[in-house]
Structure 1
């Protein structure tokens, strides 16, 4: 989905695109999947990044998340943020009201290199954002960025604390270690990484 666009707009749903977020035992398993599996071969024609787990907030079922956290030593290093939420269906209108301003904040933020969302009906939503630096991402989260209405994310999180939109929610932070392919002609989406083979 295109972040920030009107909910009932043809521009919002990228119906010819698919996002896959998966865990792997090791990189050799990823390579085998992309080279030998029919679905993997299709995915290999697109863009993907490989990530190392750093930390998590919240909890979600269906993923084996490490119990230990790591911090990026360099605040100028790029990071990837992934959110996964399972919605309370009656809270969707509230979520849209508070969420769309945050989508626009992330989409237009000068520190974001790439940002999209995805949905798996009826109730799972996810966002994926690449940040030029951890420092810029953290500034966005806490409303400290030099952008118009910088506290949109912070205010939405306060509203979520007041009355949760979700019955499960997590934010995961990752260190990107490689990127492969292109997204709509774009390469080198993650600053400082060498394009993979």
Structure 2
């Protein structure tokens, strides 16, 4: 069964640089369908800031043919062992909005979910480089909205030069995530995401853009001294 994973890890600078320049592929890692490696960014950080490109803090999102393939990678691959020392969550695919050429074959919807169960959202985008200043201008308010939202237990972003950007969020419930997307959250300036999407529709920031929803299956390790980042449904 296809499984996805998302990883956060502190790695040597050389490992982080190598992962960005030469990420693993299905040709080099058996059972891997696709892997995105990104330098971690702090949501809402100033545009010109060391927090915008953290080479020693790596975020990795991957699709695997099965869980055994992920286990082998974490146990026997050099990058995999570095990631195994950090934190990761294993994910069941549920839903997508739009699509990416790198992840073909995912249905628009897979199965069902309860609006009150925890969910994970991953966005992946290939930027139009001339549009990056516009994207940052309209995107940073959304970063702060998501980062500070009471329904979020973890919110991070990653970047791989020159044009791949991703966000990863864990939500207490699908309901809270949908409320944020549609500007209905009980927070200051709740329409920041709606406003940014309206600007994107006016003139797209991206060559490709997709949002994926997942059900968290299992959580492993710790990040920044924290464990239990995936909420336990009461």
- After TM superposition, the score normalised by the length of structure 1 is 0.94
Q: Which residue number corresponds to residue 73 of structure 1?
A: 113
Q: Which residue number corresponds to residue 59 of structure 2?
A: 19
Q: Which residue number corresponds to residue 138 of structure 1?
A: 178
Q: Which residue number corresponds to residue 150 of structure 2?
A: 110
SS of 1:23's equivalent in the other structure is strand
Q: How does 1:87-102 map to 2 (within 5 A)?
A: 87-102=127-142
Q: In 1, are the aligned partners of 2:96 and 2:108 still within 8 Å (CA)?
A: no
Aligned pair partner of 2:83 in 35, 40, 43: 43
- After TM superposition, the score normalised by the length of structure 2 is 0.79
In proportion to residue count, which structure has more strand? Answer: 2
RMSD (Å) for aligned C-alpha atoms: 1.3
Question: Compared with structure 1, are the counterparts of its residues 99 and 111 closer, same or farther at alpha carbon in structure 2 (3 Å cutoff)?
Answer: same
SS of 1:17's equivalent in the other structure is strand
Structure 2 Cα separation of the partners of residues 29 and 151 of structure 1: 41
Structure 1 stretches lacking a partner, 5+ long: none
Deviations 1:30-68 (A, max 9, x none): 111111222211110000000011111112121134225
Structure 2 stretches lacking a partner, 5+ long: 1-40
Q: How many residues align?
A: 193
Deviations 1:102-160 (A, max 9, x none): 00000000001101110110011000111111010000000000000000001101111
Structure 2 Cα separation of the partners of residues 68 and 88 of structure 1: 25
Q: In 2, are the aligned partners of 1:85 and 1:126 still within 8 Å (CA)?
A: yes
Q: How does 1:163-182 map to 2 (within 5 A)?
A: 163-182=203-222
Moved over 4 A (4+): none
